[in-house]
Amino acid sequence: MTVQTLTIIQPDDWHLHLRDGEVLARTVTDTAKQFGRAIVMPNLKPPVTNTDMAVAYKARIDAQGTDLDALMTLYLTDNTTAEDIRAASESNIVKALKYYPAGATTNSAAGVTALENAYEAIAMMEELGVPLLLHGEITHSHVDIFDREKVFIDTKLIPLQKRFPKLRMVLEHITTKQAAEFVQQSDVNVAATITPQHLMYNRNHMLVGGIKPHLYCLPVLKRNIHQEALQEAVISGDDRFFLGTDSAPHAKGDKESACGCAGCYSAPAAIELYTQIFDDLGVLDKLEAFASLNGPKFYRLPVNSKTITLVKEDWQIPSSLDFAGSTIIPLGAGETLKWKLKD
């Protein structure tokens, strides 16, 4: 008998960009309709680099009046100190530090120029059990954009793991077979988030028949063998893989421009997208663990007490949405999904 309704523990989004200012009314509300908590990325202008800034940002998020529990992160820089890490750990507001290689993605100019520059802070993170969230790409111009994640693992991540063997790490928005295998071959203190776009699409979807700017994100979509490896990772049920949308809003004009800003806005239909993916893969029974259980386990938090229900019902993702007076195109715009979140 075909499943027509699915009730799971309320999920969380363990990798989310909300931006700041007027657009919070859109981004926070879209996420709060589905998720109980979210790990909020710190790449604002200026970046969120200390606990006081994180507290202030959380207050702006909370002011939107939703039930979303914003779990804050700090932006790791060359100048982050051990005392900054201790203050963050004691705050109960900041849950992790985010590593961006300088210049890797949106608002990453202030990122770490060399991991060695952050060793003092990372050593304190290892001591206190504060997770390091990694945008795992090399940004050297001579490294092909499709190889940046693999080269990062080989040249930066493996040495980092050897130097700090007890460091708790999340390899964010993984896109390659090598990244999935790195997690699978590591200890329980290493985990990874996987986005809907990297499970649904490969680079052909983005490039064949004309460039699709709303599928452009970083790390960039890879070839189908890597997409299939990520699908196998979620099919496996390994609890070190969990939901992280990397929903990253940019106005339509910023996506459809010479810049072609990197990021997919998946928040409006995120859990429906994941449900469709898991249904298509024949593993609906694995969705709850991936979306609702594995993340809290890694972050040492209780699971949510509420549940959500999805119903088997065709509906169409809107072709566009209001974005603080501008327009934003959601991931999957105009596509028909077979699962819908019940109000």
Q: Express as a percent the part of the chain with pLDDT over 90.
A: 94
What's the pLDDT tens digit per position in 87-129? 999 999 999 999 998 766 665 667 898 899 999 999 999 999 9
Q: Express as a percent the part of the chain with pLDDT over 70.
A: 98
Domains parsed from the chain with CATH numbers = 10-305 (3.20.20.140)
> Which amino acid makes up residue 309?
T
Query: 98: number of CA atoms within 13 Å, CB side?
Result: 33
Complete edge-to-edge strand list for the sheet that includes strand 5-9: 5-9, 307-316, 336-341
- Between CA 144 and CA 102 the distance in angstroms is 17
Whether the model clears a pTM of 0.75, i.e. scores above it, the answer is yes
- Between CA 137 and CA 26 the distance in angstroms is 29
- Between CA 158 and CA 186 the distance in angstroms is 10
- pLDDT the model gives residue 17: 98
- The arithmetic mean of pLDDT across residues 152-164, rounded, is 97
- Is 228's pLDDT higher than 90? yes
- pLDDT the model gives residue 2: 78
Average pLDDT, the chain: 96
Q: Which of 246, 254, 279, 314 is catalytic?
A: 246
246 is catalytic: yes
- Between CA 55 and CA 50 the distance in angstroms is 9
> Which amino acid makes up residue 198?
H
- pLDDT the model gives residue 340: 98
- Is 330's pLDDT higher than 90? yes
- Is 84's pLDDT higher than 80? yes
- Between CA 181 and CA 230 the distance in angstroms is 10
- Is 230's pLDDT higher than 80? yes
- Is 296's pLDDT higher than 70? yes
What's the pLDDT tens digit per position in 169-222? 999 999 999 999 999 999 999 999 999 999 999 999 999 999 999 999 999 999
- pLDDT the model gives residue 73: 98
Torsion of CA 289, 245, 190, 68, to 10 degrees: -70
- Is 38's pLDDT higher than 70? yes
Spell out the residues 6+ positions from residue 59 whose beta carbon is closer than 8 angstroms to its own: none
- Is 251's pLDDT higher than 70? yes
Quick count: other Cβ atoms within 10 Å of Cβ 67?
12
- Between CA 71 and CA 48 the distance in angstroms is 13
Of 291, 274, 288, 279, nearest in space to 197 by CA: 274
